[in-house]
């Protein structure tokens, strides 16, 4: 195999890339723009110094907001530790360094790790703490004094965690493990035709496009004047991914199902030439999406919105081929119970399941493995199922009884 020096090109940070900044459990999605000031966790810096490095690199924020790759730390553990903490009194007098002393150290150019080492050396109780307590102390001080940031490549999981941690209301409180189940239940894969109706800032749409890998077609059904795709931009997809994306207004679904939608009509009131061009482009997009939907042969349906899902589901499910999956997310179970009941009444679906998800993180450390005390209260509810072909209309006229023939009476023959 030939040695190619550009094998890791796609894993290197480049100007114009969409990236995710990470510090602890805090995330933020930004785009790398030359000489643009970024504010993250009350600190400002420039991303110019990150260009050319690999994704996953941790940088130190130097003076002037310049990013420098963090040097490897010495992992040797030679610290002394006590046996228990019963004799330690937390009276606030164990630390000899004052706030002014720490600010002086910062002005002298000492970095986070060096300041933490000074705090350890000037603590009268650090050596008496147990090894576990010492690790906890160091972790707490790192969070406060280390000026570091890690740059990650955007992905479905990372962006879902970012939105759920910072702005859960924008994604209808959709948790990342619930999103993973939606992608599985809807059987999202390359080469399929998927219908999406979501009001989650484009996160669900972007997750579906990522799973499809740029192959197939996605039709985004949207309410209002236009689709919302802020989350899709944060994925940083290549241009050919966007070629698979189509859009169709949800208000035209009834007309399309009834066969009365006219996609050739032009707006005679359009004034300027620029406006005419925009309207013509919008009409072409509408016609392209309508052509995909008219065949009623979609391979999957995903719904996750703040609107009541019942009318949306009953309308869009008619565009699916038989034996195709669908999944509906709601933060509350009552709307999905109504959907479940109506689908049972109308028929045409099997394997209907209404489920909720439960997740809890665990701390996994030597001799300290236990569930994390704080956890998410709920991950919402999912309604999933599979479409089936229904029998055609029965011919008019007298219907033959389908009741079974009456049982013949058993005669008892007696010999005379």
User: What does the alpha-carbon distance between residue 414 and residue 416 come to, in Å, rounded to a whole number?
Assistant: 6
Per mean pLDDT, which of 1-10, 124-133, 302-311 is the most reliable?
302-311
> What Cα–Cα distance (Å) separates residue 256 from each residue in 248, 250, 287, 295, 296?
11, 10, 11, 11, 11
**Residue 303 and residue 163 in one domain:** yes
Q: Are residues 372 and 277 in the same domain?
A: yes
Least confident window among 195-199, 286-290, 340-344, 380-384: 286-290
pLDDT-based confidence at 413, cuts 50/70/90?
low
Domain count, the chain: 2
DSSP 8-state assignment for residue 71? P
Q: Do both 19 and 49 map to the same domain?
A: yes
pLDDT tier, 74 (very low <50, low <70, confident <90, very high otherwise): low
The single-letter DSSP state of residue 55 is T
Evaluate whether 293 touches 256 at the Cβ level (below 8 Å). Answer: yes
Q: Which two tokens stand for residue 315?
A: 């309308």
Asked if the structure places residue 175 within a domain, the reply is yes
66: domain range? 12-72+94-153
Could you tell me if 311 and 247 lie in one domain? yes
| pLDDT above 70 coverage of the chain, percent | 85
- Mean pLDDT, residues 76-87: 62
Closest CA to 313 of 287, 352, 370: 352
Q: Are residues 135 and 213 in the same domain?
A: no
Tokens 């602890």 belong to 24
Decide: helix, strand or coil at residue 359: coil
The sign of the dihedral angle between the CA atoms of 153, 156, 160, 163 is positive
- Which CATH number does the domain housing residue 359 bear? 3.40.50.150
Residue 152 has pLDDT above 60, yes or no: yes
Q: Are 35 and 147 contained in the same domain? A: yes
Q: Which residue has the higher pLDDT, 119 or 197?
A: 197
**pTM listed for this prediction:** 0.82
Predicted pLDDT of residue 212: 95
DSSP annotation of 14 reads -
pLDDT attached to residue 7: 60
Mean of the per-residue pLDDT values for the chain?
Answer: 84
Are both 99 and 135 inside the same structural domain?
A: yes
What pLDDT is recorded for position 397?
Answer: 44
**What's the pLDDT band for 381 if we cut at 50, 70, 90?**
very high
Tell me the per-residue pLDDT of 268-315, one tens digit each, with 9 for 90 and over.
665 567 788 888 888 888 898 999 998 899 999 999 999 999 999 999
């Amino acid at each position: 195999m030939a040695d190619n020096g550009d094998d890791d090109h796609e894993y290197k940070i480049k100007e114009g890339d969409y990236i995710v900044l990470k510090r602890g459990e805090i995330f933020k999605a930004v785009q790398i723009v030359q000489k643009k000031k970024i504010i993250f966790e009350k600190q400002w810096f420039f991303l110019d110094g990150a260009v050319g490095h690999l994704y996953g690199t941790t940088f130190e924020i130097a003076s002037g907001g310049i990013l420098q790759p963090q040097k490897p730390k010495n992992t040797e553990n030679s610290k002394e530790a006590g046996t228990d903490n019963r004799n330690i009194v937390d009276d606030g007098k164990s630390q000899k360094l004052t706030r002014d002393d720490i600010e002086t150290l910062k002005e002298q150019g000492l970095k986070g790790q060096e300041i933490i080492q000074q705090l350890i050396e000037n603590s009268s109780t650090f050596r008496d703490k147990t090894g576990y307590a010492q690790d906890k102390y160091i972790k707490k001080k790192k969070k406060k004094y280390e000026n570091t940031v890690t740059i990650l490549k955007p992905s479905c999981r990372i962006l879902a965690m970012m939105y759920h941690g910072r702005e859960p209301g924008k994604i209808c409180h959709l948790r990342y493990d619930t999103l993973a189940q939606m992608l599985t239940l809807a059987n999202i894969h390359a080469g399929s035709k998927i219908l999406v109706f979501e009001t989650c800032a484009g996160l669900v749409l972007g997750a579906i496009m990522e799973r499809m890998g740029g192959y197939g077609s996605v039709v985004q059904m949207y309410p209002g004047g236009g689709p919302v795709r802020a989350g899709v931009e944060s994925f940083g997809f290549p241009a050919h991914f966007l070629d698979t994306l189509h859009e169709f207004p949800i208000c035209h679904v009834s007309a399309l199902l009834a066969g009365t939608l006219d996609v050739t009509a032009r707006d005679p009131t359009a004034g300027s030439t620029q406006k005419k061009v925009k309207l013509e482009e919008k009409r072409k997009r509408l016609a392209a999406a309508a052509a995909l939907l008219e065949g009623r042969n979609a391979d999957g349906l995903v719904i996750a919105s703040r609107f009541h899902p019942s009318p949306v589901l009953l309308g869009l499910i008619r565009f699916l081929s038989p034996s195709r999956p669908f999944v509906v997310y709601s933060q509350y179970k009552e709307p999905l119970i109504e959907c479940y009941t109506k689908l049972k009444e109308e028929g045409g679906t099997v394997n209907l399941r209404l489920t909720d998800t439960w997740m809890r993180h665990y701390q996994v450390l030597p001799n300290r493995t236990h569930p994390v005390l704080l956890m998410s209260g709920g991950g919402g509810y999912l309604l999933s199922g599979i479409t089936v072909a229904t029998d055609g209309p029965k011919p008019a006229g007298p219907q033959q009884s389908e009741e079974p023939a009456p049982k013949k009476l058993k005669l008892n023959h007696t010999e005379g």
